[in-house]
């Protein structure tokens, strides 16, 4: 078991009817004016917007709105919001929406207090040490951003989709009301499930194997799979939504990292190139990359892949045969719930592989190298490896 520090200061308020608490929570910090960031307007249709606005008014919190944050959120929108936040002298940023909105809110909060271009933080030229206080009302459970210090943004001018991580980016307060997620599309639910499972697997396969973290990872993956199947049958099953939502939170709030080596993260990085270049959903990209990566690297981590097959899919046996059945079972489950599992499924032609590889290697150069990080740990991937993984993922 590796040494670790567990320190997650976010206050997470979870459950039915909790959104009206947002105004009081913000006011408790003595904050009188926020930047209120949201997406394409679904929060106006499902009543979340009204709940938030009513609460802000009730507790005397003034706000300035910036809407139009897209999935795979872009840098230009962040720049726009930073400018407005500065002009309007807001004291905090409130994101209301899914992971894209909250990641944008975090980046804006850091950008407001940084003189240069906040993109510097994504390419190793600036380390985020401070940010305006961040609050959010989460409406799609998937990325875990509601309880961590991570943000991922796409620079759409250069097709670079990079992540950043900082203690200053933990939300002060996050509100998760799973009942508002009953109107999500089938795809949003499934891609959320894939994203959360992928977060857990990035840690699970990083070469470490602490028993309690293995047990908790397996517990959480099994629960996500079970709840996803229930939600595809009955999207407004509150119990399933609530279980799903908490699983997505703990998939990336530090619990899964306990006693491990920091996570593998190759699949996330390769996926970022897919969604940067083709604007596909992150969860869709992960469903394509993960099984291919597993097939390519399992020999480096035999015992853990055997365990995965046994504990997640109840398979028996041992060695390569067991492992390959485990990976196939995972791929089949992804297919069953409706995720694409090949580049072809997502309409990405095999001829593009070289272009994707170039984009991944650019990420290695600009986002990982400045942090002293490599692409992968159990198996450090070079250009050739990435190409082979994408070939496996092709069809």
Cβ atoms of 127 and 166 within 8 Å: the answer is yes
Measured from the CB atom, is 46 or 219 closer to a second copy? 219
Identify any residues that bridge with 136 across adjacent strands, giving them in sequence order. 95, 174
- Closest approach, Cβ 353 to a second copy, in A, equals 38
- To the nearest 10 degrees (0 to 180), the angle between helices 282-297 and 266-278 is 140
Measured from the CB atom, is 164 or 196 closer to a second copy? 196
Measured from the CB atom, is 17 or 372 closer to a second copy? 17
- Which of 159, 219, 329, 374 touches a second copy (CB under 8 A)? 219
Residues 218, 313: Cα–Cα separation, whole Å:
10
- Which of 53, 84, 113, 216 touches a second copy (CB under 8 A)? 216
Helix (H, G, I), strand (E, B) or coil at 347: coil
- Closest approach, Cβ 128 to a second copy, in A, equals 19
- Closest approach, Cβ 193 to a second copy, in A, equals 13
Binding mask of the shown chain, residues 154 to 173, with x at each position contacting a second copy by CB under 8 A: --------------------
Task: Identify the residue whose tokens are 């795809």.
Answer: 187
Measured from the CB atom, is 226 or 383 closer to a second copy? 226
- Which of 7, 89, 115, 347 touches a second copy (CB under 8 A)? 7
210 binds a second copy (CB under 8 A): yes
Instruction: Name which of residues 230 to 249 contact a second copy (CB under 8 A).
Output: 238-239, 242-243, 246-247
Residues 34, 205: Cα–Cα separation, whole Å:
40
Measured from the CB atom, is 110 or 217 closer to a second copy? 217
Residues 345, 328: Cα–Cα separation, whole Å:
17
Across 133-148, b (16+ Cβ under 10 Å) vs e yields bbbbbbbbbbbbbbbb
Distances, alpha carbon 292 to alpha carbons 162, 213, 306, in Å? 22, 24, 17
Measured from the CB atom, is 17 or 30 closer to a second copy? 17
- Site size toward a second copy, by CB under 8 A: 41
Region near a second copy per CB under 8 A, out of 66-74, 102-110, 118-126, 214-222: 214-222
Nearest Cα neighbor of 225 from 174, 190, 261 is 190
6 binds a second copy (CB under 8 A): yes
Q: How do 160-165 and 150-155 pair as beta strands?
A: antiparallel
29 binds a second copy (CB under 8 A): no
Nearest Cα neighbor of 196 from 128, 161, 148, 134 is 148
Binding mask of the shown chain, residues 254 to 283, with x at each position contacting a second copy by CB under 8 A: -x--xx------------------------
17 binds a second copy (CB under 8 A): yes
Residues 122, 133: Cα–Cα separation, whole Å:
20
- Which of 75, 92, 108, 227 touches a second copy (CB under 8 A)? 227
Cβ atoms of 275 and 161 within 8 Å: the answer is yes
Measured from the CB atom, is 249 or 273 closer to a second copy? 249
Instruction: Name which of residues 322 to 381 contact a second copy (CB under 8 A).
Output: none
- Closest approach, Cβ 180 to a second copy, in A, equals 14
Across 164-188, b (16+ Cβ under 10 Å) vs e yields bebebbbbbbbbbbbbbbbebeeeb
Cβ atoms of 160 and 362 within 8 Å: the answer is yes
Residues 278, 350: Cα–Cα separation, whole Å:
13
- Which of 87, 89, 211, 351 touches a second copy (CB under 8 A)? 211
Residue 146, phi then psi, degrees to nearest 5 = -65, -15
14 binds a second copy (CB under 8 A): yes
Where do contacts with a second copy occur on this chain (CB under 8 A)? 1-18, 178, 210-212, 215-216, 218-220, 222-223, 226-227, 238-239, 242-243, 246-247, 250, 255, 258-259
């Amino acid at each position: 078991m590796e040494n670790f520090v567990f320190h997650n200061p976010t206050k997470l308020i979870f459950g039915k009817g909790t959104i009206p608490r947002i105004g009081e929570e913000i006011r408790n910090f003595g904050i009188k004016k926020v930047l209120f960031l949201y997406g394409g307007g679904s929060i106006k249709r499902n009543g979340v917007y009204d709940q938030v606005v009513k609460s802000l008014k009730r507790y005397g919190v003034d706000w300035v709105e910036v809407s139009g944050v897209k999935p795979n959120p872009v840098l230009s929108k962040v720049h726009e919001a930073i400018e407005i936040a500065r002009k309007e002298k807001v004291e905090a940023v409130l994101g209301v929406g899914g992971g894209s909105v909250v990641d944008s809110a975090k980046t804006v909060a850091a950008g407001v207090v940084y003189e240069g271009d906040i993109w510097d933080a994504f390419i190793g030229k600036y380390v985020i040490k401070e940010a305006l206080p961040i609050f959010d009302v989460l409406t799609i459970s998937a990325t875990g951003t509601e309880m961590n210090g991570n943000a991922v943004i796409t620079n759409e001018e250069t097709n670079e989709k990079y992540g950043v991580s900082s203690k200053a980016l933990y939300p002060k307060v996050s509100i998760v009301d799973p009942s508002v997620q009953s109107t999500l599309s089938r795809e949003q639910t499934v891609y959320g499930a894939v994203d959360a499972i992928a977060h857990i697997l990035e840690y699970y396969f990083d070469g470490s194997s602490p028993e309690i973290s293995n047990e908790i990872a397996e517990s959480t993956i099994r629960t996500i799979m079970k709840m996803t199947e229930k939600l595809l049958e009955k999207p407004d099953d509150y119990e399933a939504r609530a279980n799903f939502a908490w699983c997505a939170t703990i998939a990336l709030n530090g619990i899964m990292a306990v006693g491990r080596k920091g996570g593998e993260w190759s699949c996330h990085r390769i996926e970022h190139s897919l969604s940067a270049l083709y604007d596909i959903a992150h969860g869709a990209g992960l469903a394509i990359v993960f099984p291919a990566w597993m097939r390519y690297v399992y020999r480096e981590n035999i015992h853990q892949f055997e365990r995965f097959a046994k504990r997640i899919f109840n398979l028996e046996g041992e060695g390569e045969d067991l492992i390959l059945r485990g990976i196939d079972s995972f791929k089949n489950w992804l297919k069953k719930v409706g995720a694409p599992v090949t580049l072809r499924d997502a309409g990405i032609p095999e001829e593009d592989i070289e272009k994707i590889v170039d984009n991944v290697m650019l990420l290695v150069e600009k986002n990982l190298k400045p942090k002293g990080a490599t692409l992968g740990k159990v198996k450090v991937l070079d250009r050739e490896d990435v190409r082979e993984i994408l070939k496996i993922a092709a069809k």
